Amino acid sequence: MNSLDSLKSSIISQFGTPCAVIDLDIIKKNILRAQKICDVAGVANRPHIKTHKSPLLAKMQIDAGARGITCQKLGEAEVMAEAGIDDILIATNILGAAKSGRLANLQKRLPLKVCADNQISLREYSIAAKAANRPLDVLIECDTGQKRAGVEEPKEAARLIQLILKDDWLKFTGLLYYPPLNGWEDTQVFHNSLTKMLDDLKVEAKIISTGGTPNFANIGKLTGATEHRAGTCIFNDMMMVEDGFAQITDCAFRVFTSVVSRANDDRGILDAGSKTLTSDTGGLQGYGYITEYPEAKIIKFSEEHGFLNLTDCTKKPTVGEIVSVVPNHVCVAVNMVDQLVVVQNKRVMKTIPVAARGMLV
C-alpha cells in the first residue's frame, strides 16, 4: 500500500467519509509565503481568519509575523480572544451583536477595532463602548467598486469621521478598503481625496487596510496603505488556482469522499454534496477538482450527493474508492465541518476544532 492509500485507509477507519483534511506542511509554506509578500511590500500582515476559523492556525500566522488578525463576525472575535489573541479587527458593520450587548462584553475584555459605513452603526458602537467603559477604535469602510458595504464618496467618509471625533466613546483609527482587482487606481484617487479632507480635519488614519488574497498581486500599489488582510491564502482553493495565485500542490484543504454509486459507465455518485462542499461555485465550472481523476467532473450537488460525469475519464473510480476533492471556495467548505483532520507527510497527526465555525452573529 502506498502512503496515500495508507492515509485514505486511516481516514476511513478513524473518521469515515466525507472527511475534511488539511496538510500541515502546505499550510506552513503558505503562511510563510503570505508573510513574505507583506514584508516585501512593506505593509503589515493582518490575516483574515474567516478561512480557517481556528485559533491554533491564527497563532501560527502571528508567530510567523502577522500583526494581528481580521474577523468578520463578533462571534469569531470572541473565540479568538478566548484563545488569547489580543489584536483583532472586525471588518464589518456590527449591528446584531451591538444591540444584543455582546459587543460591549467583548470590548470590556480587550480593545477591539471595528468598522462602520453609517451613523447608525456608530451610534451602536458608542453605546457599546460606553457600556464597556472603554472607547472603541473605529475604521471607516470605504467602497471603491465592490458595491458591497462601504461609503461610496470620500466626503461621506469624512462626515462619519467628524461624528467619531465628536463622540467621547469612539476613536478614529483608520480606513478599510477592499479594492477590486482592477480598481487600485480608483482606490488611490478616492484615498488621496479623503486624505486631503483628513489633513484639513487634522486627523490621521493610523491603519489603512487593503484586503484579499488575489490582491496580493497589487499589494504595495496603494500609497499610504499600512496593512493587508488576506484569508484564503492559508489553504488556497480552485479559485486561487484559476486566479493564478496558487497551484494545485499549494492547496492544503481537501475533502476525502467515497464513491458510493456507479449506476452506469459514464456517471457516479460521491458521498459529499452541498452539505460538505457547499453550492458556492466561486464562479467556476463544476464543484471542485478531484485530485485522483482530474478528468472527472462534479457536475451537480444535492445535499449529500456529488454527481460525477466520467465521460472524459480514461480510468474511472469504482464504488468504495476514496478520492480527494479540492473545493472551488475553501472558506465556505471549512465552515461546514466541526473539525479538520491534520495530516503531515501523508500521516494523520491530530484533529483540530473549527472553533469559530458557524458564528453567525
The nearer residue to its own copies, 58 or 269, going by C-beta atoms, is 269
The distance of closest approach from Cβ of residue 278 to its own copies in the complex, given in angstroms and rounded to an integer, is 6
* Identity of the residue numbered 200: D
Assigned C-alpha cell, 127 = 453605546
Judged by CB under 8 A, the residue of 7, 19, 290, 296 near its own copies is 19
The nearer residue to its own copies, 93 or 126, going by C-beta atoms, is 93
Task: Quote the CA–CA distance of 323 and 16 in Å, as a whole number.
Answer: 13
Q: Are 48 and 70 contacting, i.e. CB atoms less than 8 angstroms apart?
A: yes
Judged by CB under 8 A, the residue of 38, 43, 50, 136 near its own copies is 50
The distance of closest approach from Cβ of residue 190 to its own copies in the complex, given in angstroms and rounded to an integer, is 13
Distances in Å between the Cα of 358 and the Cα atoms of 11, 31, 89, 100, 105 are 24, 24, 19, 18, 20
By CB under 8 A, the residues from 287 to 346 that bind its own copies are 302-305, 307, 318-320, 331-332, 335-338
The distance of closest approach from Cβ of residue 318 to its own copies in the complex, given in angstroms and rounded to an integer, is 8
Task: Quote the CA–CA distance of 140 and 172 in Å, as a whole number.
Answer: 8
Catalogue the E-assigned strands of the chain.
19-23, 44-45, 69-71, 88-93, 113-116, 136-142, 170-177, 207-211, 227-229, 253-264, 267-270, 289-290, 297-301, 306-309, 322-326, 339-344, 347-353
The distance of closest approach from Cβ of residue 186 to its own copies in the complex, given in angstroms and rounded to an integer, is 15
Choose the binding region for its own copies from 28-36, 129-137, 148-156, 205-213 (rule: CB under 8 A).
Answer: 148-156
The distance of closest approach from Cβ of residue 322 to its own copies in the complex, given in angstroms and rounded to an integer, is 9
The DSSP annotation for 214-276 comes to GGGGTTT-STT--EEE--GGGT--HHHHHHTS--GGG--EEEEEEEEEEEETTEEEES--HHH
Assigned C-alpha cell, 140 = 471607516
The distance of closest approach from Cβ of residue 41 to its own copies in the complex, given in angstroms and rounded to an integer, is 25
Count of residues touching its own copies (by CB under 8 A): 68
The distance of closest approach from Cβ of residue 149 to its own copies in the complex, given in angstroms and rounded to an integer, is 4
Q: Is 345 exposed, middle or buried (0-12, 13-18, 19+ CB in 10 A)?
A: exposed
By CB under 8 A, the residues from 227 to 286 that bind its own copies are 258, 260-264, 267, 269, 271-272, 274-276, 278-281
The nearer residue to its own copies, 130 or 275, going by C-beta atoms, is 275
Q: Is 182 one of the binding residues for its own copies (CB under 8 A)?
A: no
Contact residues: its own copies, CB under 8 A: 12-19, 50, 72-74, 92-97, 99-102, 117-118, 120-121, 124, 143, 147-152, 258, 260-264, 267, 269, 271-272, 274-276, 278-281, 302-305, 307, 318-320, 331-332, 335-338, 358, 360-361
